[in-house]
Amino acid sequence: MGFFKNINFNKLKGGLSKTREKIVSSITETISGKAKIDEEVLEELEETLITSDIGMETAERIIDATRRSLKSEKDRTEEKIIETIKKELIKVLEETHTDEDNLEKIKKYKPYVILVIGVNGAGKTTTIGKLANNFKQAGLKVVIGSADTFRAAANEQLETWANRAGVDIIQREHGADPSAVAYDTLASAKQTDADIVIIDTAGRLHTKNNLMEELKKIKRVLGKVYDYAPNETYLVIDGNTGQNGLMQAREFSKYAALTGLIITKLDGTAKGGIIFKISSEQKVPVKYIGVGEGIDDLQTFEPKEFVNALLD
């Protein structure tokens, strides 16, 4: 479904500029100007990689692969090393990668139900606006449920996004039971024959037990209306949070089986390398990435495109 993928290479490249600067400059500083790429340089490179956010495991993989690829003298060039690093980074991401919500998959369900969760301010509501827009553009009938009844301005914010995307929204008064909103949204989707439901939730700290239990309840209610629901549970992580994002993924997955990660705000951070660490440790695929605040700034995550944009 080519038209369904939202990838704009230049925008992606632009969005990743800070992370690229950090990772690429540290790599080139290590290897450029070296008369010979020997074991000493490789060890230096490994240290450099470990201190970037990609994680120890991935750094070791890259060095092993580089060592293997550098058998002949003529291979010991900077370009060759960058190429090996690229290949290995793509491999890491592809191990967990699964296709994004493609139309074929979505159309098997009516409605296809997506639950969006994450800590405060991660970018859930904004991402839902962008997602709704993508689905609408692909010709799907979308309804959003405002199950963030906690924050006073939440309804209004989500409504603004629903209007921008031109999709329906279901909400209740501030303080209402979030699972009741989830229920209403599915009921409305049924009535209006919607293709896809996206449920927004209040930001919650993964350390707050009662709030995490509330997530379980929302999931239970969704499953009562449609036994397959939710089809997707997406955890939204702010790219700026670096290592803490990993903690969030660990903790949230204890309460709700995650089917995908959405990493936001990559346009404003140098810590985008965390994507490699989270993918390799969590075994949960990254599905989308946010590279700006606009409605078009959510991109489908493709390992190859991502790594090429990062190391271009």
- Among the listed ranges 6-14, 80-88, 98-106, 113-121, the one in contact with ligand GTP (CB under 6 A) is 113-121
Q: Which residue of 124, 206, 219, 287 would you call a contact of ligand GTP, by CB under 6 A?
A: 124
Q: How far is the CB of 296 from Mg ion (least distance, A)?
A: 19
Q: The tokens of 229 are what? A: 């629901």
How many CA atoms does the CB half-sphere of 152 hold within 13 Å? 0
How many helices (H) and strands (E) in the chain? Answer: 13, 8
Cα(92)–Cα(168) distance, integer angstroms: 38
Binding residues for ligand GTP, total number by CB under 6 A: 20
In this structure, what are the phi and psi dihedrals at residue 146, rounded to the nearest 5 degrees? -95, 75
Choose the one of Mg ion, ligand GTP, none that binds residue 77, judging by a C-beta under 5 to 8 angstroms depending on kind.
none
Q: Interface mask (CB under 6 A) for ligand GTP, residues 131-170, using x and -?
A: -----------------x--x-------------------
Please report, as a single letter, which amino acid is at residue 14: G
- Name the helix (H) or strand (E) containing 198: strand 196-201
Helices 17-31 + 39-51 axis angle, to 10: 160
Q: Which value, in Å, is the radius of gyration of the alpha carbons in the chain?
A: 21
> 118 or 285, CB closer to ligand GTP?
118
Q: The tokens of 120 are what? A: 């405060």
Q: How far is the CB of 131 from ligand GTP (least distance, A)?
A: 11
Q: Is residue 267 part of the contact set for ligand GTP (CB under 6 A)?
A: yes
Q: Is residue 14 part of the contact set for ligand GTP (CB under 6 A)?
A: no
Q: Which residue of 61, 265, 277, 287 would you call a contact of ligand GTP, by CB under 6 A?
A: 265
Q: The tokens of 15 are what? A: 């969005």
Q: Is residue 30 part of the contact set for Mg ion (CB under 5 A)?
A: no
- Name the helix (H) or strand (E) containing 211: helix 209-225
Are 295 and 130 in contact by the 8 Å Cβ rule? The answer is: yes
Dihedral (CA of 169, 173, 178, 184) sign: negative
Q: Which residue of 53, 62, 97, 118 would you call a contact of ligand GTP, by CB under 6 A?
A: 118
Q: Which residue of 292, 302, 305, 310 would you call a contact of ligand GTP, by CB under 6 A?
A: 292
Q: How far is the CB of 119 from ligand GTP (least distance, A)?
A: 7
Q: Which residue of 52, 149, 264, 279 would you call a contact of ligand GTP, by CB under 6 A?
A: 264
> Cα angle vertex 266, ends 218, 289, to 5°?
50
Q: Is residue 125 part of the contact set for Mg ion (CB under 5 A)?
A: yes
Q: Is residue 121 part of the contact set for ligand GTP (CB under 6 A)?
A: yes
Chain residues in the site for Mg ion (CB under 5 A): 124-125
Chain residues in the site for ligand GTP (CB under 6 A): 118, 120-126, 148, 151, 203, 264-265, 267-268, 290-293, 297
